[in-house]
Amino acid sequence: MRRPTITALVVLVGLLLLVDLLIVNSALGQLAGIVVEAAILVAAGVALAGVAALGTRRMGDLWRRRGDPVGAALVLAGMAAMLLAGLRPGSSGTDDPAVQWLIVALLVPIGATLFGLLFVSTLAAARRSLRAGSSEGTLLVAAALVTTVLLVPISGALGDRLADAAGWSLAVPIGAAFRGLLIGIAILTAVYAARTLLGIGAADD
């Protein structure tokens, strides 16, 4: 499929979803639903292709003894365990007890460990920001400390007031900053995607 055809297809799908968002029409809604389901199927195929590529790459690393063979073996073992638990005869898929056990006993602790490391790295980054003496870093660390103090579980009237202040800070100033970041990222992503699809480079500006 040539690039102009892909560009036209993406533009048509985007316009269809935008019109469906602005106009209430049953036929248009059904067509948009079919398009969304097709996009989900394509995304699922891409995800499966990514998993297959990861498995192939790790198998190559393990066979040729390059990179981290222990890590490659662990990745392949984890993929094999999940596939066997979910695809074995009599399995109920994602609701199977074996799959749920693998998620609760392995994936959740690994995620908790990664978040624990993130906390330590955040403290190290805050220390470096304060040592550098930048006003932005100092403001960021101060806001993080204030939010942490507000979220400390304290009983009584003081705890209720701190909880209300924490809820307000999360909903109003922090929420506004977060929404602004999301809007800016969405705009930049749309502009970059349009430039890529239309073949507009830096030399064309």
pLDDT band at 49 (very low <50, low <70, confident <90, very high): very high
Backbone dihedral angles phi then psi of residue 137, each to the nearest 5 degrees: -65, -40
Mean pLDDT of the chain: 83
pLDDT in tens, 50-73: 989 988 998 888 888 888 888 888
Residue whose structure tokens are 């074995």: 88
The mean pLDDT of 184-197, rounded to a whole number, is 81
pLDDT in tens, 110-164: 888 888 888 788 888 888 878 887 787 788 888 878 877 877 777 778 878 888 8
CB atoms within 10 A of CB 199: 10
Residue 171 clears pLDDT 70, i.e. is over it: yes
More confident residue, 203 or 65: 65
Task: Measure the CA angle with vertex 180, ends 177 and 181; round to 5°.
Answer: 90
More confident residue, 203 or 22: 22
pLDDT > 70 fraction of the chain, expressed in percent and rounded: 94
CA distance to 51, 69, 70, 77, 88, per residue, from 74 (Å):
15, 9, 6, 5, 21
> Which pair of tokens denotes residue 134?
């930048």
pTM: 0.55
**50 three-state secondary structure:** helix
More confident residue, 57 or 11: 57
- Answer for the pair 79, 51: CB distance below 8 angstroms, yes or no: yes
**157 three-state secondary structure:** helix
Buried b (16+ CB within 10 A) or exposed e, 59-91: eebbeeeeeeeeebeebbeeeeebeebbeeeee
User: What was the pLDDT predicted at 83?
Assistant: 86
CA distance to 47, 49, 68, 76, 96, per residue, from 61 (Å):
21, 18, 7, 11, 31
Q: Could you tell me what percentage of the chain is helix, strand and coil, using 3-state DSSP and rounding each to the nearest 5?
A: 85, 0, 15
Task: Measure the CA angle with vertex 50, ends 45 and 51; round to 5°.
Answer: 100
Element (H, E) at 105: none
Amino acid code (one letter) for 5:
T
CB atoms within 10 A of CB 99: 19
Residue 1 clears pLDDT 60, i.e. is over it: no
> Which pair of tokens denotes residue 1?
């499929």
The mean pLDDT of 96-100, rounded to a whole number, is 87
- Answer for the pair 73, 79: CB distance below 8 angstroms, yes or no: no
Residues 145, 187: Cα–Cα separation, whole Å: 31
User: What was the pLDDT predicted at 53?
Assistant: 92
Residue 11 clears pLDDT 80, i.e. is over it: no
